[in-house]
Structure 1
Amino acid sequence: MGLDALSQKPHDRLADWLADDMVAVNLLIRDRMASEHAPRIPEVTAHLVEAGGKRLRPMLTLAAARLCGYGGPFHVHLAATVEFIHTATLLHDDVVDESERRRGRPTANLLWDNKSSVLVGDYLFARSFQLMVETGRIEVLGILANASATIAEGEVLQLTAAQDLATTEAVYLQVVRGKTAALFAAACEVGGVIADAPVGHIDALRDFGDALGIAFQIVDDLLDYGGSDASIGKNTGDDFRERKLTLPVIKAVALADAEERAFWERVIEQGDQREGDLARAQAIMARHGTMAAARDEALAWAARARAAITLLPDHPLRAMLDDLAGYVVARIS
């Protein structure tokens, strides 16, 4: 079950509470993704930005700022910044992964070409830094610049570790912190910074985003082996076909007997995948209980997120963020 499967789930309640702010964010996004000289830029950007994504990351920024009492205009700039960074990474990721589907639609690299996806992603990164500068806050520039570097580092680490059966759970966690949790954490942290919140509240927001992002990615990795195409926005088994070593697979490799080890070497390291291999991979993981073990880790990270947020002021938005942390992992319950 995806985040949007039922009405008035935590994500929906958060969207309702922040509706006016999100209207402003979407208007700013549409304005800044325009290009006077290169019409392909808004074409490619609109294909992804307007594809019905949950806008979770910018909503985290808005919620963090409002939760900390912010009444100015620049949380909108930061939320748009976060969405631009996220969209840029998706454009680049789909090229690297040779993906053909994103959010239930053909990817930009499939509809246009790899060059367009990469260059438009670069444009969105540049636009995001322009938006950061407009806030006049060097702190947020540092936070989001560091997050952008961490995201790129995580993607490169995944590229080198993804098809190596020696990859450990510690390396996986480092990849997840880079490719997903870094932007979740930064999105929450800058909301507190722009509101001039106390250091303890800013730290709590960052810790909440980090733990939420890790839980979110582990769940996405699990859904790739057990979710529906509609719920995950891509084809079930894409991670397997792309030979990515995600947490349930890493755990299965660690517990493998000789025959299973040979299977993983063939399908992951050598890329020799045959009819029925995905089902066999699922059966091996079920035999060793690695899907359940990974689910337990996602639940533990969600619990960390919920613990962090107790340090923040009592507010309806705090309750919604707490519910969101629980619901992220409820997708696999």
Structure 2
Amino acid sequence: MKLLDIFGTLKKDMDAVEQQLYRSIDVDQELLKETSLHLLQAGGKRLRPVFVLLGGKFGNYNLDRLQHIAVPLELIHSASLVHDDVIDDAHTRRGKPTVKSKWDNKIAMYTGDYIYAKALSLVTKLGNPEIHRILSKALVQMSIGEMEQIRDFFNTSQSVRNYLLRIRRKTALLIAVSCQLGAIAADAPVEVSRMLYRYGYNVGMAFQIRDDLLDLKGTEKQLGKPPGSDMRQGNITLPVLFALQEERLREPLLREIADIHAGDGSADTSRAIQMILGSQGISRAELLADRYIEKALSSLQRLKDNKAKKHLQDIAYFVNRRAY
């Protein structure tokens, strides 16, 4: 199943959001314009704008108003990726050179800063202070998550709880507020926006766990980057943490991770990946992702039945079975 099959009824409105996304980064400074366009042209699933529009379907749907949420949230997500690529020293994303790779770290960081600033300026067009409060709080938490990830690079002693808190901040919160703010911008009842937040949070947690699994199970063609990139960059993800809990694997896997750490960023991760694939780490991580999806679907039960609800259910199933 492809995402376009799931939200085909939103295509016209998503096309409008996409056009506004490109208009929003127009700037007289040529280099800044070029780097921002390079980032947006790398594509992406545009899940966050989709969640905003679907959240808006539970209230007074108004595309002009919802665009002031959908576009900034996608910009914030894109800006975070630029910064991530600098921190992770990543040379490709979605099969294309990253901004830091094509230009340099300084250009990438200023590009990310510019896109963040544009996002915040667009949100101000909505006069609802609750929207500003929710979004600013999420941005603070995302920044904390970034710092925690840096702190835990190659930290094989970190707990599963620390990992879950980190992905909550780095990934799940922005998806959660995408659903929530779409509803709030459409003047949906408070209880509806809360249920949508819970849905988005749980989908976001499952999304990141699946992303971490794909990094180990996927191919370079599927991922747009070499498998094992997370380990190579120092990100110790959930399946790795679970594999490290197995007595027979712990010491040899620790040695492999130490060798990767000692490498120059292009270390061979194939032996470590094979160890993890042969462990219970994969199935345990998959089981936890399943649980988050179950919670997400449960959050939708009290919402009125409509096409948006069906789309949200379909997206949850897609997230938990995606191969890209």
Q: Output the TM-score relative to the length of structure 2.
A: 0.93
Equivalent in the alignment of 1:252: 243
Deviations 1:82-141 (A, max 9, x none): 011001101110011000111110111111111111001101111111111101111111
Aligned with 1:261 (options 251, 260, 272) = 251
Aligned with 1:24 (options 11, 16, 23) = 16
Distance 1:295 1:105, change over 3 A: same
Q: Which secondary structure does the structure 2 equivalent of 1:216 belong to?
A: helix
Aligned with 2:262 (options 246, 268, 272) = 272
Distance 1:138 1:203, change over 3 A: same
Aligned with 1:123 (options 105, 114, 122) = 114
Would you say the 8 A contact 1:243–1:268 is kept in 2?
A: no
Q: Which amino acid aligns with 1:127?
A: K
Distance 1:153 1:276, change over 3 A: closer
1-side partners of 2:57 and 2:259: how far apart? 47
1-side partners of 2:180 and 2:86: how far apart? 29
Deviation of 1:263 after TM superposition, in Å, equals: 3.8
2:32 is equivalent to residue 41 of structure 1: yes
Q: Which amino acid aligns with 2:48?
A: R
Q: Which amino acid aligns with 2:17?
A: V
Aligned pairs for 1:9-158 within 5 A: 9=2, 11-36=3-28, 38-71=29-62, 73-158=64-149
Equivalent in the alignment of 2:170: 179
Q: Which amino acid aligns with 1:311?
A: R
- For structure 2, which runs of at least 5 residues remain unmatched after alignment? none
2:185 is equivalent to residue 194 of structure 1: yes
1-side partners of 2:31 and 2:49: how far apart? 24
Deviation of 1:283 after TM superposition, in Å, equals: 3.1
Equivalent in the alignment of 2:200: 209
1-side partners of 2:272 and 2:207: how far apart? 22
Alignment coverage as a number of residue pairs: 322
Q: Which secondary structure does the structure 2 equivalent of 1:88 belong to?
A: helix
Equivalent in the alignment of 1:3: none
CA-based RMSD? 2.0
Q: Which amino acid aligns with 2:62?
A: G
2:303 is equivalent to residue 322 of structure 1: no
Deviation of 1:268 after TM superposition, in Å, equals: 4.3
Would you say the 8 A contact 1:247–1:294 is kept in 2?
A: yes
Distance 1:276 1:287, change over 3 A: farther
Q: Which amino acid aligns with 1:97?
A: D
Q: Output the TM-score relative to the length of structure 1.
A: 0.91
Question: Identity percentage over the alignment?
Answer: 32
Q: Which amino acid aligns with 2:103?
A: W
Q: Which amino acid aligns with 2:131?
A: V
Deviation of 1:231 after TM superposition, in Å, equals: 2.2
Would you say the 8 A contact 1:13–1:320 is kept in 2?
A: no
Would you say the 8 A contact 1:101–1:107 is kept in 2?
A: yes
2:299 is equivalent to residue 308 of structure 1: yes
Would you say the 8 A contact 1:62–1:75 is kept in 2?
A: yes
Further displaced range: 236-245 or 79-88: 236-245
1-side partners of 2:284 and 2:169: how far apart? 22
